[in-house]
Structure 1
Amino acid sequence: MKLTRKAAPVALATTLALTLAACAQSNRDSGSGSSGSGGNNKDTITFGAAGAPELFDPFYATDGETFRVTRQMMEGLVGIKPGTADIEPELATKWESSSDGKEWTFSLREGVKFWDGEPFNAAAVCYNFERMFDQNEVAAGGPAGYWADVMGSFKSDAKNALYQGCTAKDDMTAVIKISRPTSKFPTALSLDSFSMQSPKALKAGDANNVTKQGDGFGYPAYSKNPVGTGPYKLDKFDEANKTVTLVANDSYWGEKPKTKKIVFKIIPDESTRRQELEAGSIDGYDLPNPADWKGLKDSGNQLLIRPAFNILYVGLNPAKNPKLKDLKVRQALYYAMNRDQLVKTQLPEGAQVATQFLPETVSGYNKSLQAYPYDPEKAKTLLKEAGAEGMTLNFAYPSDVSRPYMPNPQKIYEALRADLEKVGIKVNVSTKPWNGGYLDTVDNGGYDAWLLGWTGDYNSADNFIGTFFSNLKANDFHTSATSYGAQLSKDLEAADSIVDEGQRTAAYEKLNQQIQEDYLPGLAISHSPPALVVSDKVKGLVPSPLTAETFSTVTVSK
């Protein structure tokens, strides 16, 4: 769903991470510190944003620029440990599961208030979940997409929903029931969309009144005046000057923000963001072009490299090209690709050749798997054995886009196309703009093969391989046209439902091996670490593999 995209949208049948052990107490609850900066520090952080927030209610947001802002203001039951993709306590201090994995008890943090003075308690938690569950038809079919992906459905179709209710056991204990055990609960509650918001403000702002307006959506008053518990509050969105200003929440329950204000300055053009950083009018920006990394560092800036939490792949469609139903053909394509050279020449520093459709930080990653080597002679032999010598492949790439896992799609494509042509494959070149037909054509099965990728939402194997392959009737790899697709779907759903963490990890490791060695529905290419860049005056910003950076710990020296 995020515009840091992902593969094409897939209707997820599976949902949410099973962490059976109760989590430890957070170290952020001291309440110490004070808002503002010392004598040597500025009172404002100015960050260059590529676009304006769509709105300020994270429940209806789907894009990274909105989440970057709301993340500073809102908190969930579960947070993300800085610098990792691992969960940690946030508004819940600990949680535990029933033995069957269907009931989760959250112990809530005491002394927390929303900005409007309303208490954060179990009643507020249950109000939030019921508010998310009870969406009108417009919201359910559009902007409430993260709930649909994770929970399956809404109150109007309650029997098919993962979420089955919330109960306030006592003032500081909330119990959430789900319909089945699933590998992503409670990890998916770390998504920004599931942030806790003031019930009083939600009611007053008619928060669920989403309407259809032309090709888009109309949002209620609350979406411009959110109320959370986080370290910063919304001050103003100045559309004329293209800035969003947040101010410190002096009553914040944890360590107070180190800088009084954050200004997100909206600068759509990446080269202009670089110029403004070098001129000192902004303190940093996201996703600098890898071609600029060396120059930015040579100019004295700090390049903050995020751990790779993504996958670039070549998707294959056996329903479109029947020759791709033969495993030998799919293996031949893989052996034909010089991925070591691709990573060295086309991807940023720190990129790695992929051995599977998971980054190595995700539980279930199979460390024993080896990358398919570059072996064009073996590729030719396999094509000959399959009777596919001189086969034609309609192979596509997107234009007008740069993704963290695919900084220059055309150059990556040209390198892979050249490799395929060297083993005798005839490549028909196809390209369309990212949001101008490319993604729709992928969704509709219009290509034999295509370049795409995925940036994970949270730390779960199901968020990667489950997203790609678990829904037999709706996946871009068209596994329904293969002999293995039904079994793979069944096995993925079974792995997602395993309660014991060790058994579940082993099941995913086995599935990753089968996907790479026995099935090969697509070709996992590489993992690339995206970056942020900040001036040498910035301290305290921790890069996140989920692009979930928080700014409350940041200072900017004068």
Structure 2
Amino acid sequence: MRIARPRAARMFAAVLTIGLIVTGCASERDDDGSGGDSETFVFGAAGDPASLDPGLASDGETFRVTRQAFETLLDHEPGGTELVGGLAETWESNPEGTEWTFHLRDGVTFHDGEALTGEAVCANFDRWYHWSGTYQNTTLSYYWQSVFGGFAENESEETPDPNYVGCEAPDDLTAVISVAEPSANYPGGFSLQSFAIHSPKSLEAYATDEAAGEGENITFPDYSQEAGTAAGTGPFEITDWNKGNGEITLTRFDDYWGEPAGVEELVFRTIPEEDARRQALQAGDIHGYDLVAPADVATLEEEGFQVPTRDVFNLLYLGITQESNEALGELEVRQALAHAIDRENIVNTQLPEGGVVATQFVPHTVDGFSDNVTTYAHDTERARDLLAAAGHDDLALDFCYPTEVTRPYMPAPADIYELLRSDLEDAGVTVTPVPLKWNPDYTETTRDGGCDIYLLGWTGDFNDAYNFLGTWFADYSKEWGFENQELFDLMAEAATEPDPETRVGLYEEINEYVMDYLPGVPISSSPPSIAFSPDVNPPTVSPLTQENFAEVSFR
């Protein structure tokens, strides 16, 4: 397959001047010579997907691919965070917030020809609810457990009680989902890519190819795309996954219910190194890539490339696992770590323009942000004094950080780690580096409480502070390793509060409480940049990093 390659920026400008736009070889243009929709658009991905089933994933690189093929009941407006209809044209809940009714779009078909119905929706939710064995590990069912709790039969005491009750389809175009308790996770949770709807035939095929293993030895199902196993309703269908070459190919779905995709073929090519992605764009080997290094933005723009920036909707933090080291259970020690870190230096040297120092565990763009939290200014001597007062001036910590990955909130993990290590050592802390490959080693190790301190973050899934605070502090978790019933009770109160204005006030109170208790150290929020070649009409960039590549076309 030949790839349409953009010309260098200066050549493009010159060609544009004389009224010609060259975007590919003649064999790749439409028969009428107009060019455009028969082109192949190639995007440089930072990592391989964990699986082609978004229900088993919790990472952005997987969702970037699957979002093009699988759709959710609810969605977000292009370029914003407001909920809009997805597969459900309209929706409503009962006054208690325990029954959610979705009125499905008529005429929607799956890639395998099956029709979207209420029964198909219920089959998906019931599948997740009845997961067992390996699927109850949070590596595979993280979002299900975060939003809907546990399963029909929990196999571990650590698994939360299920909040999902059931799903009914009173007619072909209606699905009614019931939960035991109202939650701030609804309705936003119905927009999560993990809960995208699959064809009933796909669900049957998935049952014959299941995940296996435990801990670091979990094996994801290897659904065969050649057999058309994974079928969604999106504008593209996945037609090939060449794992050896790190390429996933999607083809335009001509029976899509909405606007057809602007390109015939979409390819995601894994290029782990940030510099290599930039060079591939400059060389014309790809047409776009995400998470542009701040230092590269001006250079790319000068060369004629398009580099739009997303709004801030993420948070980077230093996680602290209190149970891994008894010293970390002492507030003075955690305060010392907070004072040791020069967060402003990280923002100024590692983040793109518009990055900000974080004062709490939600970005300033989310309702519930408080102006009255306790703050911890960079003060090395203060950090040393606090460690000495706590009797831990000889503190030694294992510091985990991820490799072979960049995230919207963390553009250069190794560089950020080095700055933090230097700050901590200046304060007298002995740091042992623990570099780990992101998927699954890093996520599994941090979630299981295997690090003293670690770098992690979050890009919001929907616009409610509970999507940040509840992700971390709704209940006990190994990655934080603390029991604080007062905080858990505050989270439960906010989660079940039906009035949005009252709930925002509770979030402000929680942010203030959290920053006094200091379970970790919020570091920064970043506006990540994404780059495209000059000959591309790019998709609308999303603060949620939820770009719809069906909007892409060639000029």
User: TM-score scaled by structure 1?
Assistant: 0.82
> In structure 1, what is the equivalent of residue 482 of structure 2?
479
Q: Is the 8 A contact 1:329 1:388 kept in 2?
A: no
Q: Is the 8 A contact 1:208 1:220 kept in 2?
A: no
Gaps of 5+ in 2: 1-29
Residue 359 of structure 1 and its aligned partner are, at CA, apart by 1.5
**SS of corresponding position for 2:140:** coil
Amino acid at match of 1:434: L
Q: Is the 8 A contact 1:397 1:409 kept in 2?
A: no
- 1:308 partnered with 2:303: no
Q: Is the 8 A contact 1:311 1:454 kept in 2?
A: yes
- 1:554 partnered with 2:552: yes
> In structure 2, what is the equivalent of residue 257 of structure 1?
261
Q: Is the 8 A contact 2:310 2:528 kept in 1?
A: yes
1:535 to 514, 533, 536: 533
> In structure 1, what is the equivalent of residue 500 of structure 2?
501
Residue 431 of structure 1 and its aligned partner are, at CA, apart by 0.8
Residue 194 of structure 1 and its aligned partner are, at CA, apart by 1.2
> In structure 2, what is the equivalent of residue 226 of structure 1?
230
User: Closer, same or farther in 2 for the Cα pair 1:138/1:209, shift >3 Å?
Assistant: farther
Query: CA separation in 1, counterparts of 2:48 and 2:480?
Result: 33
User: CA RMSD for the aligned pairs?
Assistant: 3.2
**SS of corresponding position for 1:314:** strand
> In structure 1, what is the equivalent of residue 135 of structure 2?
139
Amino acid at match of 1:260: E
> In structure 2, what is the equivalent of residue 456 of structure 1?
460
**SS of corresponding position for 1:46:** strand
- 1:435 partnered with 2:437: yes
User: Closer, same or farther in 2 for the Cα pair 1:169/1:270, shift >3 Å?
Assistant: same
Amino acid at match of 1:301: F
Q: Is the 8 A contact 1:47 1:264 kept in 2?
A: yes
> In structure 2, what is the equivalent of residue 12 of structure 1?
none
Gaps of 5+ in 1: 1-34
> In structure 1, what is the equivalent of residue 509 of structure 2?
510
User: Closer, same or farther in 2 for the Cα pair 1:319/1:273, shift >3 Å?
Assistant: closer
Query: CA separation in 2, counterparts of 1:215 and 1:322?
Result: 30
- 1:96 partnered with 2:78: no
Residue 468 of structure 1 and its aligned partner are, at CA, apart by 1.9
> In structure 1, what is the equivalent of residue 471 of structure 2?
467
**SS of corresponding position for 1:431:** strand
> In structure 1, what is the equivalent of residue 212 of structure 2?
212
Q: Deviations over 1:48-90 (max 9, x none)?
A: 2334444433323444333222211111111122223332111
Query: CA separation in 1, counterparts of 2:334 and 2:509?
Result: 20
User: TM-score scaled by structure 2?
Assistant: 0.82
Residue 268 of structure 1 and its aligned partner are, at CA, apart by 3.8
Higher deviation after alignment, 220-229 or 252-261: 220-229
1:403 to 406, 410, 426: 406
User: Closer, same or farther in 2 for the Cα pair 1:322/1:161, shift >3 Å?
Assistant: closer
Query: CA separation in 1, counterparts of 2:479 and 2:206?
Result: 38
Residue 292 of structure 1 and its aligned partner are, at CA, apart by 2.8
1:43 to 38, 46, 60: 38
Query: CA separation in 2, counterparts of 1:368 and 1:36?
Result: 63
Residue 529 of structure 1 and its aligned partner are, at CA, apart by 2.3
**SS of corresponding position for 1:412:** helix
Query: CA separation in 1, counterparts of 2:207 and 2:445?
Result: 35
Residue 323 of structure 1 and its aligned partner are, at CA, apart by 5.2
Count of residue pairs brought into register by the alignment: 513
**SS of corresponding position for 2:457:** strand
**SS of corresponding position for 2:144:** helix
Query: CA separation in 1, counterparts of 2:124 and 2:113?
Result: 17
Query: CA separation in 1, counterparts of 2:232 and 2:479?
Result: 37
> In structure 1, what is the equivalent of residue 518 of structure 2?
520
2:419 to 410, 415, 431: 415
% same residue: 41
User: Closer, same or farther in 2 for the Cα pair 1:290/1:208, shift >3 Å?
Assistant: farther
Query: CA separation in 1, counterparts of 2:110 and 2:444?
Result: 41
Larger RCO (CA under 8 A, 6+ residues apart): 1
User: Closer, same or farther in 2 for the Cα pair 1:202/1:290, shift >3 Å?
Assistant: same
Q: Is the 8 A contact 1:86 1:459 kept in 2?
A: yes
- 1:244 partnered with 2:253: no
> In structure 2, what is the equivalent of residue 14 of structure 1?
none
User: Closer, same or farther in 2 for the Cα pair 1:324/1:209, shift >3 Å?
Assistant: closer
Query: CA separation in 1, counterparts of 2:412 and 2:366?
Result: 26
Output aligned runs, 1:20-35, within 5 Å.
none
Q: Is the 8 A contact 1:469 1:479 kept in 2?
A: no
Amino acid at match of 2:406: R
> In structure 2, what is the equivalent of residue 193 of structure 1?
194
Residue 325 of structure 1 and its aligned partner are, at CA, apart by 4.7
Residue 307 of structure 1 and its aligned partner are, at CA, apart by 2.4
Amino acid at match of 1:86: E
Q: Is the 8 A contact 1:399 1:431 kept in 2?
A: no
Query: CA separation in 2, counterparts of 1:556 and 1:356?
Result: 42
Amino acid at match of 2:435: P
Output aligned runs, 1:58-77, within 5 Å.
58-77=54-73
> In structure 1, what is the equivalent of residue 120 of structure 2?
124
Q: Is the 8 A contact 2:111 2:233 kept in 1?
A: yes
Amino acid at match of 1:81: E
Amino acid at match of 1:543: V
> In structure 2, what is the equivalent of residue 27 of structure 1?
none
- 1:164 partnered with 2:179: no
Query: CA separation in 2, counterparts of 1:182 and 1:167?
Result: 20
Q: Deviations over 1:368-400 (max 9, x none)?
A: 54754345565566667x455845352624263
Query: CA separation in 2, counterparts of 1:438 and 1:431?
Result: 13
1:149 to 141, 146, 149: 146
Q: Is the 8 A contact 1:136 1:208 kept in 2?
A: no
Query: CA separation in 1, counterparts of 2:294 and 2:32?
Result: 33
